[in-house]
Amino acid sequence: MSNTSTRSVLILGARSDIARPLARLYADEGYDVVLAARSAEKLAADTADLRIRSGRHIGALEFDVLDTAGHRAFADQLNPLPDIVVSLVGLMTSQVDAQNDFAAAELMIRSNYVGLVSILGEIANRMEQRGAGTIVGVSSVSGDRGRATNYIYGSAKAGFTAFLSGLRNRLFGKGVTVITVKPGFIRTRMTDGLDLPALLTAGAEEMARAIHKASKGKQLVVYRRRIWRLIMLIVRCLPERLFVRMKF
């Protein structure tokens, strides 16, 4: 895929609970791994541990999804350009805060959509020029239809899902694969203490395995857990006059 014999993967949003098990899966498979996140120095323990366990090159880069002016320079420093790029970047804050304070809404929109369009667009252009690569974007089932309880977060995820779909269509036949992963509930630090339904909730390691598998397979849109595909099909098909009465 790349111009060197060593395969590599870049994980954006690498302070996510999913990042460490995902990085381990790739490293165990023989990939060099670059973890990118804000306050990248806090990844030092993870990079050292993975380096010792796998014997691969494990690096860390400073990355801020909100710093769109710096994204071209960030992409330029990726040498070699990774074979696989996975975006775990995401931010969900209170719907009530976001609907009453545009600054809170804008932060979610920029974190979940605007910044990702910027950085993945830079990387996609370089992969297209090379003629090879895989981009995996983790979106959300929340983007499948706007709901009263999280419509600002959901609208940003809907935009990101549409962006990935269009990018996939644009790059079809050019050697670059774009994959959309749509989780439902995920058991992480962010959801700690919430009473989540076990059947609908994936753990961080389960999500890591699903993302890793998706990046190797042919399925371009992946729901995790798979029951969410059926749930969201039903939700999307509900008539609007009925849907507006359902406050969930």
Which residues carry out catalysis?
153
Rounded Cα distance, 210 and 59, in Å: 23
Rounded Cα distance, 26 and 142, in Å: 28
Helix (H, G, I), strand (E, B) or coil at 48: helix
Helix (H, G, I), strand (E, B) or coil at 239: coil
Residue type, 210: A
Helix (H, G, I), strand (E, B) or coil at 157: helix
Our separate counts of H helices and E strands in the chain read 10, 9
**Kind and range of the H or E run holding 135:** strand 133-138
